Amino acid sequence: MQKVGFFRSIHVKFVIIYVLLILIAMQIIGIYFARELEQTLRHNFETSIMDRVNLLEFSVREEMLRQRSEEDPTLEQSLRTVLTGFSSEDIIEVRVIDAKYSILATSELDNQSLVGQRTNLDLIRNSINAESEFKTTQLDEKTNKRVWMLAEPIVSDGEVIAALYIQSNIEKVFGQINEINQILAGGTAFSLGITVVLGILIAQTITRPIADMTKQATAMAKGNFARKVRVYGQDEIGELAKAFNHLTTRLQEAQSSTESERRKLASVLSNMTDGVISTDRKGRIILINDTALGMLRVPREHVLNRPVPTVLGLEQDYTFEDLVDQKEPVTIDFSTDEQPYILRANFSVIQKETGFVNGLIVVLHDITEQEKIEIERREFVSNVSHELRTPLTSMRSYLEALADGAWKDEEIAPSFLHVTQTETERMIRLVSDLLQLSRMDSREYELNVDIVDFVKFLHRIIDRFELMKSKDVQFIRLIPPGPLYTEIDMDKMTQVIDNIISNALKYSPDGGNVRFSILVEDDHLKVAISDDGMGIPEANVKRIFERFYRADKARSRAMGGTGLGLAIAKEMINAHGGNIWAESEEGKGTTVFFTLPFELEEAGEWD
């Protein structure tokens, strides 16, 4: 372990920082204290002088305004007497100057020769001219002491008749400040001495455990995990020592489990449902899981060390640098005419701390079903818009004609109103069917199932259609005589069979037949309803259960169909646990089959 220099030691750094912090704090406190102390002492000194100046000003004003007789002392004598009584230890000299800047009196005996002379002091002249007091502090060159000077105007009836000039000894105030600062400096030095001793002792409690942990870290770097750090206390350093010992144990465990984790990671990549591809810094594939191989439908040896844009079929549109900068997912279309197949690729860059690109991670998702659902959604919205626009356009045309006066024609008006009513009913049926499909899609319904003899149930529905049919169509019943019990929701199953029979009647020509049959096959009933209509092309047979699909669009719309009947029938049959499909031959008719769960043993018990 390399030895740390004296001034680089955390021990020394801690003591220095600790002392500097205390020193800075003491300096800030000292500066603030000295400033506030100086302001307070000066304020007290000036206030004391000003209180006496106010009394002196009153006395001088009275002397200058007093009417004098021949027996009274002169103004100069009176003022000298007043000023002499004002003298004190902290006041050096007091002068009275008239409005013409002539010195009338002075309290200093050595300066009596100045009486009668004009003063040239700017402080006095400014005070008389501005009719305001002026004060300043200057250094006396003779005594080398600070002197506080004040010029105070004496005003009578709004006019300045004279001014007072006072010189005061303020050096005592600064002397007091210096004494207090010396005391503060001595206290600071004593505090710093104690601080250094305490800092050394406190630093040792921190640096000793750190030194032990440094030795332990060096031993761990050499592979020795047996040594433990001594815990000196229960503070943060002690908790750090405990955590360091725990880290040592965990590192020892982690070292032994690294290989196991690597094998687990390989297993996870192999069993992920998403495809994962990893490349080197040049874009060549270095890792690919089995799911990605299955999605790309290529063997592993054909993709390793190959450029990722080529393997993904993106070499025409993207380079590896483009994929590194690609923030949005890229859709890869492998669809054929027979089968759609679409993948979505997400790209994530592997970078070092310096920003250097070290490779690329590609995650593949199979979104074929999502795309199919999105296409169906768009077609559904388009179909709904078209189905609603047609009757609305028709209604608007007839209503505009009625509004333009057709309502007055007794022959045309009823016909127009009848068409409007028919189109309204058609839209109501369409919306009702859409709401029903919506509830089925969101599972917002429950089947009210009951045990029903399906043979009798089907006969009742057929009998009802025989009474209502308007065409010359023959119903042929190939239904077994015995009862066949099953659990169904009678209302929903009635709707299913009504839709199928209605379509069979709609597309059957006059003189045609509609055949009904029921077969028992293993664990279900197989029901078939067929007609002799025009049939459906083989390519479109599977689509008749799609929403809004019509075999003959013009004829279906003319008959008021919504194109949702068989879609609703499919949802209801699926809800019963059955299946529905159709078989058709163009020009010879169509047969619709559906199955329902059926158990022969339970049927015997019901019987």
Tokens 């009196």 sit at which residue?
105
* Domain stop point among 271, 301, 335: 271
Residues 314 and 234 in one domain: no
**What pLDDT is recorded for position 555?**
46
Residues 6+ apart with CB under 8 A from 419: 394, 395, 398
Q: Which of 172, 144, 169 is nearest to 91 (CA)?
A: 169
- Residue 160 to residues 22, 47, 80, 129, 516: CA-CA distances in angstroms? 57, 23, 20, 9, 133
Residues 376 and 361 in one domain: no
Element of type H or E holding 454: helix 454-468
Q: Cα dihedral sign for 457, 462, 463, 467?
A: positive
Residue 203 counted as domain residue: no
pLDDT-derived band at 392 (thresholds 50, 70, 90) equals: confident
pLDDT digits (tens, 9 = 90+) for 288-342: 888 888 888 888 888 888 998 888 888 888 888 888 888 888 888 888 877 788 8
For the domain that residue 481 is a member of, what is the CATH number?
Answer: 3.30.565.10
**Residue 250 is part of which domain span?**
225-271
Kindly state whether residues 35 and 159 are assigned to the same domain: yes
Which two three-digit tokens encode residue 190?
A: 């004593």
Across the range 447-472, mean pLDDT stands at 85
Helices 10-65 and 171-221: crossing angle in degrees, nearest 10, is 160
Render pLDDT for 596-606 as a digit per residue (tens, 0 to 9). 988 664 444 44
Span 86-105, average pLDDT: 80
**Considering 365, 391, 406, which residue would you say is the last residue of a domain?**
365
Q: Facing residues of 94 across strands? A: 166
For residue 394, tell me if it sits in a domain. yes
Indicate the angle between helix axes 565-575 and 412-441, nearest 10 degrees.
30
Query: In angstroms, rounded to a whole number, what is the distance separating the alpha carbons of residues 536 and 534?
Result: 7
Which residue blocks in 111-170 are alpha helix, DSSP H? 122-130
194 belongs to a structural domain: no
Residue 214 forms part of a structural domain: no
Q: Both 28 and 113 in a single domain?
A: yes
395 and 338 within one domain:
no
Is 207 part of any domain? no
Two structure tokens written together for 206:
């921190």
Neighbours of 129 (CB within 10 A): 12
DSSP state of 132: S
Q: Is the domain of 328 the same as that of 303?
A: yes
Question: Per mean pLDDT, which of 82-91, 196-205, 262-271, 573-582 is the most reliable?
Answer: 573-582
Range of lowest pLDDT (9-13, 36-40, 134-138): 9-13
**Structure token digits, residue 398:** 């007839």
Record the tokens describing residue 214, joined without a space.
Answer: 């440094």
On whether the CB atoms of residues 131 and 113 are closer than 8 A, the answer is no
CATH number at 428 reads 1.10.287.130
pTM: 0.39
Q: What angle do CA 588, 594, 599 make, to 5 degrees?
A: 140
Cα–Cα distance measured from residue 550 to residue 571, given in angstroms and rounded to the nearest whole number: 17
Token pair of 341 as six digits: 């197949």
Report the CATH number at residue 277.
3.30.450.20
Residues 6 or more apart in contact with residue 173 via CB below 8 angstroms: 38, 41, 42, 45
Claim to verify: residue 297 and residue 233 sit in the same structural domain: no
140 and 262, same domain (yes or no): no
Q: Residue 64 has which token pair?
A: 């200058």
**Per the structure block, which two tokens stand in for 347?**
């790209």
User: Is position 199 within any domain?
Assistant: no
- Token look-up 């063997």 returns 299
Classify residue 2: in a domain, yes or no: no
| pLDDT classification of 529: cutoffs 50, 70, 90 | very high
- Asked whether residue 247 falls in the same domain as residue 296, the answer is no
The answer on pLDDT for 577 being more than 80 is yes
d(CA 93, CA 166): 6
The domain total for the chain is 5
Q: What's the rounded Cα separation, in Å, for the pair 62 and 56? A: 10
Could you tell me if 25 and 160 lie in one domain?
Answer: yes
Could you tell me where the DSSP H helices lie in 272-367? 290-296, 308-311, 320-324
Helix locations, 353-449, DSSP H = 368-403, 412-441
Give the pLDDT band of residue 559 (cuts 50, 70, 90): very low
Same domain for 71 and 169, yes or no, is yes
Q: What is residue 384's predicted lDDT score, i.e. its pLDDT?
A: 65
CA atoms of 46 and 52, how far apart (whole Å): 10
pLDDT more than 90, % of the chain: 4
* pLDDT tens digits along 330-387: 888 888 877 788 888 899 888 877 778 888 889 988 888 877 777 667 766 666 666 6
Between CA 604 and CA 220 the distance in angstroms is 79
Task: For residue 183, tell me if it sits in a domain.
Answer: no
Considering the domain architecture, whether residues 591 and 472 belong to the same structural domain is answered as: yes
Q: Could you say which of 380, 408, 441 is where a domain stops?
A: 441
